[in-house]
Amino acid sequence: PLASTVLGTVLAQLVSTLSIILPIILLTRASGNDLSTIFIGKTRIRRGLVVSTISFLGFYAFTGLGLGQGLFPNNGITLSRFITLTPALLVLVLSNGLREELWFRGIFLKKYGKFLRPLPSNMLAAIIFASFHIQVRYTRSLLPFLVITLILGLWLGYFMQRSGNIIAPGIFHAGSDIPIYLVFLSYTST
């Protein structure tokens, strides 16, 4: 299968990401809406980038030191192998973080806001985001993972509402995906 190698995994992820992101962007524009309706723009990005970049680096260090093994077993990947996998890991997590932020919050958060206040809108998006992850098989402990995912969804929604932009929450989300994608890469060949 394509995803049995590191390169194949990266290519599959990029195709999947583009197949979701491109139609969303193109259809948003074709419908006459500005991209800011899906949180793509330059609003208040600077402060969010600082928080998300520091968090991303924290998730990277956390994973590199093997501290995520209890929830995400990675078949004993060494620090050396982790560093070797870093370029692929960066492509995977950044593309997934931006994809899922656009998919779960970018499209819907402002639309929910037409009927609900910001907090209920965010809660609805977070519940949908967490429920999407019910079928995962990359964690030993599904219930704690889903609770963490719900909290993460609430934080990312709040972050997106405050920043008005998808980039900072996308980077934060990408960081939180590092231990997960390391599990996937631990099963691939080079």
Exposed/middle/buried for residue 97 (C-beta within 10 Å: 0-12, 13-18, 19+): buried
Phi, psi for 135 (deg, rounded to 5) = -85, 5
The total domain count for the chain is 1
Residue 189 pLDDT greater than 80, yes or no: no
| pLDDT score of 163 | 87
Q: How many CB atoms lie within 10 A of CB 142?
A: 14
| pLDDT score of 153 | 96
Phi, psi for 76 (deg, rounded to 5) = 65, 35
| pLDDT score of 126 | 96
| pLDDT score of 43 | 72
pLDDT digits 0-9 by tens, 58-101: 999 999 998 877 777 777 788 899 999 999 999 999 999 999 99
User: Residue 119 is part of which domain span?
Assistant: 2-186
Exposed/middle/buried for residue 75 (C-beta within 10 Å: 0-12, 13-18, 19+): exposed
Residue 137 pLDDT greater than 90, yes or no: no
pLDDT digits 0-9 by tens, 5-53: 999 999 999 999 999 999 999 999 999 999 999 999 877 777 789 999 9
pLDDT band at 152 (very low <50, low <70, confident <90, very high): very high
- Distance in angstroms (rounded) separating the CA atoms of residues 163 and 49: 9
Phi, psi for 5 (deg, rounded to 5) = -120, 165
* Strand residues in 21-116 grouped as ranges (E): none
Q: Indicate the pTM of the whole model.
A: 0.91
